[in-house]
């Protein structure tokens, strides 16, 4: 579909994003939608922070929060799986020596990415200083709130433990793995893991409310990822909308590739839009949420995968209809419920591409 500033879909998306500005959901939002070959929608509104009037663009980095889970950590997991470095049935203790003889070490890797590990949703200490310190403290805690496999509970701790397994298997940092297995093959040259070293890189500001961090400009909004310098696996990815779109386009191309792929092999992509756990409103596959009748919107096929982030971000990819929709925002005011707002965005895009 040809991208046109006067296209009805673009006009509707722009109107929606401007409404979000007026309602003070965010100070900045960028929406990109399209197919494996082209963008049909590119809309940017707002500024980098409440006090910085610099306008945002397609290349402006956002803290994408939990989009890190599927885009980075899950992709690395499946890339290593395709290379025979591990299997989804491997138990956590096989790769993390500190958990080898502990109940937590009995969790299969597939239960981490389907959120059926039995681990509680979150744990954090403001005394953590780096990866080793955080992991040592977590290993000393009792983190189970149910038996392994006893139901679905979305947990950031699943990805903290998975990230450590990936580091142990490869002998490399998560940031290095992301560069090799995600950023380079997908052409995400504006993305990075962890806080920015540049004091003024033009990153969109977020605001952390629950633990008193306040404004976060070059730092990760999520407390766990912040304390672990982006190595936690649950959050920590900074990416512009153009890069998130490139990831989606690469995955769409891989889904149709018969002989070669850039991110994941076609049979691997095929296993992603299959419900493995979850609820009627939060169907869960391997690392990705799976579409239901109403999520992300009725016009999306049941072979759609997606995820959201705490800072008001989302990415959905329809593998059957060959389209994607990315929305990046920043949460700088009081935290708001963007659930219906994102549904409206996906309905607009779905109606145009359906």
CATH code, domain carrying 286: 3.40.710.10
- Both 114 and 260 in a single domain? no
- Both 205 and 346 in a single domain? yes
Q: What is the mean pLDDT of residues 291-319?
A: 95
- Both 168 and 265 in a single domain? no
Q: What is the pLDDT of residue 43?
A: 98
- Both 208 and 311 in a single domain? yes
Is 80 a domain residue? no
- Both 295 and 206 in a single domain? yes
- Both 200 and 294 in a single domain? yes
Per-residue exposure over 184-200, b if at least 16 CB sit within 10 Å of its own CB, e if not: ebbebebbbbbbbeeee
Q: What is the pLDDT of residue 188?
A: 98
- Both 167 and 182 in a single domain? no
Is 3 a domain residue? no
- Both 65 and 93 in a single domain? no
Q: What is the pLDDT of residue 199?
A: 60
Q: Work out the angle between the directed axes of helices 156-170 and 75-82 (0-180°, nearest 10).
A: 40
The span from the CA of 235 to the CA of 233, in Å, is 6
Domain final position from 172, 204, 239:
172
Domains held by the chain: number: 2
- Both 94 and 223 in a single domain? no
Indicate the pLDDT class of residue 30, thresholds 50, 70 and 90.
Answer: very high
151 pLDDT higher than 90: yes
Q: What angle do CA 133, 128, 312 make, to 5 degrees?
A: 120
Indicate the pLDDT class of residue 263, thresholds 50, 70 and 90.
Answer: very high
- Both 320 and 261 in a single domain? yes
Is 77 a domain residue? no
Q: What is the pLDDT of residue 198?
A: 64
- Both 194 and 168 in a single domain? no
Domain final position from 172, 187, 203:
172
Q: Which two tokens stand for residue 339?
A: 């659930």
276 pLDDT higher than 90: yes
Is 2 a domain residue? no
Q: What is the mean pLDDT of residues 276-301?
A: 93
Q: What is the pLDDT of residue 296?
A: 94
Is 1 a domain residue? no
CB atoms near residue 21 (< 10 Å): 16
Q: What is the pLDDT of residue 332?
A: 60
The 3 state secondary structure assigned to the chain is CCCCCCCHHHHHHHHHHHHHHHCCCCCEEEEEEECCCCEEEEEEEEECCCCCCCECCCCCCEECHHHHHHHHHHHHHHHHHHCCCCCCCCEHHHHCHHHCCCHHHHCEHHHHHCCCCCECCCCCCCCCCCHHHHHHHHHHCCCECCCCCCCCCCCHHHHHHHHHHHHHHHCCCHHHHHHHHHHHHHCCCCCEECCCCCCCCCCCCEEECCCCCEEECCCCCCHHHHHCCCCCCCCCEEECHHHHHHHHHHHHHHHCCCCCCCCCCHHHHHCCCCCCEECCCCEECCCCEECCCCCCCCCCCCCEEEEEECCCEEEEEECCCCEEEEEEECCCCCCCCCHHHHHHHHHHHHHHHC
- Print the domain residue range for 200: 8-71+177-353
Indicate the pLDDT class of residue 280, thresholds 50, 70 and 90.
Answer: confident
Is 192 a domain residue? yes
Q: What is the pLDDT of residue 194?
A: 87
Q: Which two tokens stand for residue 77?
A: 């997991």
Average pLDDT of the chain?
A: 93
Indicate the pLDDT class of residue 261, thresholds 50, 70 and 90.
Answer: confident
* Percent of the chain residues past pLDDT 90, beyond the cut: 83
- Both 146 and 60 in a single domain? no
Domain final position from 172, 190, 216:
172
Q: What is the pLDDT of residue 319?
A: 98
The span from the CA of 293 to the CA of 278, in Å, is 14
Q: Which residue has the higher pLDDT, 1 or 205?
A: 205
Q: What is the pLDDT of residue 1?
A: 42
Q: What is the mean pLDDT of residues 299-305?
A: 96
Q: What is the pLDDT of residue 244?
A: 99
Is 243 a domain residue? yes
Is 76 a domain residue? no
């Amino acid at each position: 579909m040809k991208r046109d500033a006067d296209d009805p879909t673009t006009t509707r998306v722009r109107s929606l994003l401007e409404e979000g500005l007026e309602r003070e959901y965010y100070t900045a939002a960028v929406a990109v939608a399209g197919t494996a070959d082209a963008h049909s929608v590119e809309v940017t509104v707002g500024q980098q922070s409440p006090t910085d009037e610099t306008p945002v663009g397609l290349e402006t980095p956002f803290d994408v929060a939990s989009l890190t889970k599927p885009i980075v950590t899950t992709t690395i997991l499946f890339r290593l799986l395709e290379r025979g470095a591990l299997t989804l049935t491997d138990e956590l203790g096989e790769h993390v020596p500190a958990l080898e003889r502990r109940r937590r070490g009995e969790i299969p890797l597939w239960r981490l990415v389907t959120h059926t590990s039995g681990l509680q949703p979150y744990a954090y200490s403001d005394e953590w200083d780096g990866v080793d310190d955080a992991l040592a403290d977590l290993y000393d805690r009792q983190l189970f709130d149910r038996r392994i496999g006893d139901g679905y509970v979305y947990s950031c701790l699943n990805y903290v433990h998975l990230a450590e397994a990936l580091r142990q298997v490869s002998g490399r940092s998560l940031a290095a793995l992301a560069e090799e297995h995600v950023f380079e093959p997908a052409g995400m040259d504006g993305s990075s893991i962890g806080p920015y070293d540049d004091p003024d890189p033009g990153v969109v500001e977020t605001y952390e409310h629950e633990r008193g961090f306040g404004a976060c400009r070059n730092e990760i909004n999520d407390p766990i990822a912040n304390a672990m310098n982006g190595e936690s696996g649950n959050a920590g990815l900074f990416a512009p909308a153009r890069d998130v779109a490139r990831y989606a386009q690469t995955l769409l191309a891989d889904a149709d590739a018969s002989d070669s792929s850039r991110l994941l092999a076609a049979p691997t992509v095929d296993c992603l839009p299959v419900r493995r756990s979850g609820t009627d409103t939060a169907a869960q596959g391997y690392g990705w949420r799976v579409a239901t009748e109403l999520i992300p919107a009725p016009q999306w096929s049941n072979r759609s995968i997606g995820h959201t982030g705490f800072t008001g971000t989302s990415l959905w990819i329809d593998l059957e209809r060959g389209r994607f929709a990315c929305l990046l925002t920043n949460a700088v005011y009081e935290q708001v419920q963007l659930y219906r707002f994102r549904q409206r965005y996906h309905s607009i895009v779905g109606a145009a591409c359906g």
